[in-house]
Structure 1
Amino acid sequence: MTTPDPDSLLAEQLLRFTRRMHRIQKRQIERAGLGVTPAQSRLLRTLAHYDAPPRMADLAERLEVVPRAVTTLVDGLEASGKVRRVPDPTNRRVIRIELTEDGHKAVRAVFAARRAAAEEVLAPLTDEQRTVLGGLLDALVDGVPEPAGRC
């Protein structure tokens, strides 16, 4: 058996890290007793970033999923009272999705669960290591090489 190249090893580490983060975040959300799935929590977090209620198509684009997937998520969140469908004031054929008061509470709990998950995952790192990791992740996410001397 051949030894994997360093890039393949890093890719595997990143995948394992992502899976671990998702598992811990899911556990934290379950502890909060919100009764939402990880996908629903992602939709709630996304809704929180809009100034005005978005259309389903806007949510699908932002989440990078097909519109039908958003419909299913919204159906579940609407049934639990966390979101509601409202008509667009300028075009009655367009439906927008807005958070209810319970939805706003759920968003706060989801963000708290994410913070708790991050604290748990990052606990072994010093503040300096966290700063370096943040810079490296920014470079990877943005596709921009790290400035010389940063690491």
Structure 2
Amino acid sequence: MRVARDLRRTGMTAYEPYDLAPHHARALRVVGHHGTMRLGELAQHLRVAPRSVTDVVDALEERGLAERSPDPTDRRAQVVGLTDAGRRLVDEVDAARRTGAEAYFGRLPERDRASLRRILERLDATD
């Protein structure tokens, strides 16, 4: 649990220069990695109530990082996608997170990292 906490903290540190709250950062990453989606789908990914995701998307829109548009398959629904600025931010932060993870795991010898990678990939495949 301590390792997971350290990794989460390291990952969130990458967002600090951008003054993003953790829930805003998570929403950006979800939309950035899964693409444009309905607000309800984003709420499911984030495991929050749909009404909570509305506030998150409002904040991201105000900062020019995300934008809503009509769902092309259902005019009554809306989808959210990233703006160019939002995509650039996700790319920058992902790079910073990778650098942080590499530094964290870089303390291990290559053989141990390979073993850990193999074990984690196996666990992830059974999910």
TM-score, normalization: structure 2? Answer: 0.87
The equivalent residue for 2:20 is 36
* Greater fraction helix: 2
The equivalent residue for 1:19 is 5
Q: Do the aligned residues in 2 keep the contact of 1:87 with 1:95 (CA within 8 Å)?
A: yes
Give, in whole Å, the separation in 2 of the partners of 1:117 and 1:77. 25
Structure 1 position 92 matched with structure 2 position 75: yes
Aligned-pair CA distance for 1:115: 0.6
Give, in whole Å, the separation in 2 of the partners of 1:71 and 1:135. 39
State the identity as a percent. Answer: 36
* Greater fraction strand: 2
Partner AA of 1:42 in structure 2: R
Residues paired across the two proteins, number? 127
In structure 2, relative to structure 1, the CA distance for the partners of 1:117 and 1:92 (3 Å cut) is same
Q: Unmatched 5+ residue regions in structure 1?
A: 1-14, 145-151
Give, in whole Å, the separation in 2 of the partners of 1:143 and 1:50. 21
Aligned-pair CA distance for 1:143: 4.1
Runs of 4+ in 1 over 3 A off after TM superposition: 139-144
The equivalent residue for 1:130 is 113
Give, in whole Å, the separation in 2 of the partners of 1:63 and 1:128. 35
Q: Which has the larger radius of gyration?
A: 1
Partner AA of 1:117 in structure 2: G
Q: C-alpha deviations, 1:45-92, integer Å up to 9, x for none?
A: 1112234x2001111222333222322221211111100111112322
Aligned-pair CA distance for 1:120: 2.1
TM-score, normalization: structure 1? Answer: 0.74
Q: 1:62 aligns with which of 30, 35, 45?
A: 45
- Superposed CA RMSD in Å reads 1.8
Aligned-pair CA distance for 1:104: 0.8
Provide the secondary structure at the position in 1 that maps to 2:67. Answer: strand
